Amino acid sequence: MAMSGGIDSTMAAVLLIEQGYQLEGVTFRSWDSISKACMERETGCCSVDSIFEAKHIADSLGFRHQILDIRELFKEKVIGNFISEYMRGRTPNPCVVCNKYIKWGALVELADKLDCQYIATGHYAQIGCDEGRYYIKKGLDATKDQSYFLWQLSQENLRRTIFPLGTFTKQQVRQMAAEHGYVKLSKKRESQEICFVPDNNYRNFLHDNSPEYLNVPAGDFISTDGRVLGRHKGYPNYTIGQRKGLQIALGQPMYVTNINAENNTVTLGTKDDLLCNTVYVSDCNLMKISNIDKPLRALVRIRYRSKGGMATIEPAGKGLRITFDEPIDSVTPGQSAVFYQDNDLIGGGIIDNYQQNRCE
């Protein structure tokens, strides 16, 4: 049982015990912040306080708990990807990477050592199985559904996974926590931040952890037709779709529409310039079906909070081409495109960059 010390993993453990499972608890020690801002707000699933809270909860529920030090693996897989993607002019999704290599990488290895049949987490998602293939289904609570972050899980990972909270709403979980005596947890405000960036400022994180970031000079803002519009602070400081904080006045709202790391240029355009119909993805993983060898209709979400849009998905080289019925805005290289049919997750892929003909 992966335990963060928060309400979700705590109630997931409670539900499993009530269902007769024998639990082994584990909490990851993943990241020691060196940022002053982060240390002042040491919160989230990798803080020292959360580790001790998880141990206290496991002790109170009567099962063993251990701390798994995966700092080196986390630094290599999650932090390394986070920094390298920004330095390529892309926007990473660290939760997707963490789920693949940490929560279903290191956790599965530990489960094998402990002779545990299953692994469980407090995610709001469900597991389905059809014709021998396992897949993720959306959680019942649409406002908390976390299926978007789980598209990289393998069939073996899915076969061994239990999501006790998948059929509950967050409000129900809070009520259950209060009824079981976890009143303080039931009222705790949730953090929406990346666990290793608790001040919610990725630029501060890059400043403290990436020498390469410090060496990026100022560059040019350019228009969609290549005209120089002004100077920017260095391309890693910007993300696709950004409007605020550009510190340039052009007489109308302007948005970041392209980031060229090689030339250190940031393209600005209008809201309409953010629209595109066709997106290319690579590093794909399919769940409910084993392959896409002909056009497939699905709803595609290009970021966690997006409603998505209906699209046709087709093979394209080593990846997939996604053609949306209606133009979609702010498609961001490095983010995930995740495919759904109704509540079932078909699969997903990493959105490629502009140089790889992302939009047309």
Active-site choice (98, 116, 284, 359): 98
61: nearest Cα among 24, 94, 36, 31: 24
- Which position has the token pair 């066709």? 278
Specify whether the CB–CB gap between 67 and 52 falls below 8 A: no
Whether 195 is catalytic is: yes
What residue ranges in 16-120 does DSSP mark as E strands?
24-29, 64-69, 119-120
Q: Which run of H or of E encompasses 324? A: strand 319-329
List phi, psi (to 5°) of 86. -65, -35
Bridge partner residues of 24 (DSSP): 64
CA distances in angstroms from 111 to 101, 103, 143, 220, listed in the order given: 14, 11, 30, 51
Q: What does the block give as tokens for 188?
A: 């705790």
Cα angle: 271, vertex 272, 278; to 5 degrees: 120
* Pair type for strands 219-223 and 265-269: parallel
Find the catalytic residue in 95, 195, 284, 359: 195
Q: How far is CA 118 from CA 13, 22, 103, 304, in A?
A: 13, 10, 13, 27
Catalytic amino acids?
Answer: 98, 195
